[in-house]
Each structure stands twice: as C-alpha cells, then as structure tokens.
Structure 1
C-alpha cells in the first residue's frame, strides 16, 4: 500500500472553450477508442488459461482500472467547470483568458495565456490562473509591475502587452 497523500486542493473552476473541448476529446478517446481495445485484449488473454501468470491479462486489467478512474475524474470535473467564452468588460486589464507579454528586470520577455488549472501547459505558453505569477498580474494594466516571491527572492515583472485575441 502506498504512502498516504492528503487530497489535492481543487483548482479554480474556470476553463476556456478550447480546454473543455480537449478534455471532452480525452474522455472520448479513452472511453470509445482505448477502452474497447484493452477490453478485447483482456478478453483474449483470459481465454489462455492461468490468469495469475498472464501478463496481458494482468496489465490489461490494470490499464482498464486506470482508464475508468481517469474517465470518472474527467466527467466529474467537467460537470463542475464553468466555461468562460466571453470577453471581460474591461479588456485593458489582465483577466482569465488574456494573452499577456511580460518582461523581467533582465529584459527577457515571456508570453503567456491565463487559463484554468485543468489546461495549463507552459510549453504551449498556457499559465494556470492559480499560479503565483498569474495571481500577481491579475487585474493589472500595461506598464504595471508585479512582484512574485521565488525561492531566490522577489522577481519583478512588468506587463508589456495584453490581448484577448490569440496571436498568429
């Protein structure tokens, strides 16, 4: 039995329409494509006799449990999410869904979109609204500064640009 881990704190319940579509596509892929394939593999492996030493059967059953668990989690999460598909009333401030260009003290710039915790991916420049950086810049305008506490000390960011239209 594994080490006890307390339940993770729930993230914010906001998601972009693109993020919702991605989660729904994952549910479809798992439930309609992958699960039937794994079920067929387990069924064939069960015909081979002794299941205690049958790798296809053992690992197939484990994968079915993983798929069922993930689908159950995604369905519950999709029920509680609020899809934000409209622009905020004030587009000159940083809010959910904004594309933000930031510059640090060294002159390095980064470009992020503020998204929900279920869809963040830094490789795609998607920053979770629950992250310290996003919390520091929320509600700020262009040329405002934000301070983020890091293990090395405070990091100062300046907001260079805000847009609610995806860059090309």
Structure 2
C-alpha cells in the first residue's frame, strides 16, 4: 500500500481549505447542476456545447473536491507558537540576497499553502528546501536555473 503523504498546513490554511471545500460542495455543485439542467432543456445533448461545457466543469469541481478532502484528511498542523533558532516549516525568515544586497522575507509553509506572490514559499521550493535547518547568520546556496544564489539568514521568527 502506498504511503500517505502529510499535507503541512497552518491552522489558518486548514480553515481556508475547509471553507473552500464547503463552498465547492454547497455553491459550485449547485451552479453546475443548474447549468446542466438548462443545457438538457435545450434538447439534443449529443451536439450541445453548453452541455459539454457544464459536464467538463462538473468533472473539474468533483476532482477539486476530492483533492481538497484529501488535503484536509492528511493535514498536519504546523506548530507556529514555538520559537525556533533554526528555519522550519512555519518560520518567518528574513534573508539577504548576497548578489543584489537585497533583503527578502518569506514564511515557510507546506506546498498546499504556498503563495510566492504573498511571500509564502513552500518547504519543497528551491529556496525553502535550501534554508530549512539553517540558523541566523548562516549562508545558504540555492541552485536556480540561472546559477547559484547565496542568501544569508538575517532573522528567524
């Protein structure tokens, strides 16, 4: 039997997934059911693009519901309350990009909560995986497609 992979989440992230699941089950399913009903009312469904579109959307919604349920059922909540002296999932870190002498700040989260545009990077991302376990003052080399990048860990909270 395949090993079940844990989904690392913050308590906030788990709550967001539960709300999204509820929305998809109660609202989105009903919307697509209405679209299907309207498409069937148009007549012959063998050449009905409205019906085909609604069936495709229904398949997407059902797949997304299954994905959300799996993430919720395998969720492991990240303990954000303990202070750490090493970078771990749940840590907020301030880094110095040595090449550009530019500071960046990230929160390290599980892949389900990653949102790079809001400075939430996955522990599985190149930067996230490279800095896990590092301490304040450490220099960490991250492999990127453009070559290695060196970050100094300035702060962990």
**Distance (Å, rounded) in 2 between the aligned partners of 1:142 and 1:85:** 20
Question: Per the alignment, in what secondary structure is the counterpart of residue 85 of structure 2?
Answer: coil
Matched, 1:62 2:76: no
Q: CA deviation at 1:127?
A: 0.5
Q: Is the 8 A contact 1:95 1:138 kept in 2?
A: yes
Find 1:95's aligned residue among 88, 98, 112: 88
Q: Is the 8 A contact 2:139 2:151 kept in 1?
A: yes
Q: CA deviation at 1:12?
A: 5.5
* Superposed CA RMSD: 1.7
Tell me the equivalent position of 2:23: 29
Q: 1:31 to 1:54 in 2, by over 3 A?
A: same
Matched, 1:13 2:7: yes
The TM-score normalised by the length of structure 1 is: 0.83
Q: CA deviation at 1:92?
A: 2.2
For 1:143-158, list aligned pairs within 5 A.
Answer: 143-158=137-152
Tell me the equivalent position of 2:71: 77
4+ runs deviating over 4 angstroms:
none
Q: Which runs of 5+ in 2 are unaligned?
A: none
Q: Which moved more, 1:109-118 or 1:71-80?
A: 71-80
Q: Which runs of 5+ in 1 are unaligned?
A: 1-9, 164-168
The TM-score normalised by the length of structure 2 is: 0.89
Question: Per the alignment, in what secondary structure is the counterpart of residue 114 of structure 1?
Answer: strand
Question: Per the alignment, in what secondary structure is the counterpart of residue 95 of structure 2?
Answer: strand
Q: CA deviation at 1:119?
A: 0.9
**Distance (Å, rounded) in 1 between the aligned partners of 2:79 and 2:84:** 14
